């Protein structure tokens, strides 16, 4: 099994199965700058994996993803660059050749 450990996510490849886990449980997996950059890195990693047929996306802790990190927004840290990076990651995830399954629990 190959594992890509990022600051806010973990991506594991095991044969034809990949698991992408959001890993900011203390913030209910809310998306901050590191989160969107990690999403881009993880999707780039998944695109390179020709073997992957299924990607299961989940969140550690009691939430899948509670959305945008409002604390970062209040500080003014989420600029247009943040939204463009977020969009790049989400579009890359949607365009993967593999089947994507969201294992949603808690906040979403």
pLDDT at position 78 is 85
pLDDT, one tens digit for every residue, the chain (108 residues) = 899 999 999 999 999 999 999 999 999 999 999 999 999 999 999 999 889 999 999 999 999 999 999 999 899 988 999 999 999 999 999 999 999 999 999 877
Q: Domain residues for 41?
A: 2-103
CA atoms of 54 and 28, how far apart (whole Å): 25
pLDDT at position 5 is 96
CB atoms within 10 A of CB 54: 14
What is the number of structural domains in the chain? 1
pLDDT at position 82 is 94
CA atoms of 76 and 90, how far apart (whole Å): 22
pLDDT at position 1 is 84
pLDDT at position 70 is 94
CATH assignment at residue 9: 3.90.226.10
- Does residue 108 sit within a domain? no
- Give yes or no for a contact between 39 and 93, defined as CB atoms under 8 angstroms apart: yes
């Amino acid at each position: 099994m190959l594992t890509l450990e990022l600051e806010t996510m973990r991506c594991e490849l095991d044969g034809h199965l990949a698991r992408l886990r959001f890993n900011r449980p203390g913030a209910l997996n809310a998306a901050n700058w590191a989160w969107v950059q990690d999403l881009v890195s993880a999707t780039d990693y998944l695109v390179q994996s020709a073997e992957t047929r299924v990607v299961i996306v989940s969140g550690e802790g009691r939430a899948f993803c509670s959305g945008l990190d409002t604390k970062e927004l209040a500080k003014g840290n989420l600029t247009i660059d943040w939204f463009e990076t977020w969009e790049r990651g989400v579009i890359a995830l949607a365009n993967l050749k593999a089947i994507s399954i969201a294992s949603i629990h808690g906040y979403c």
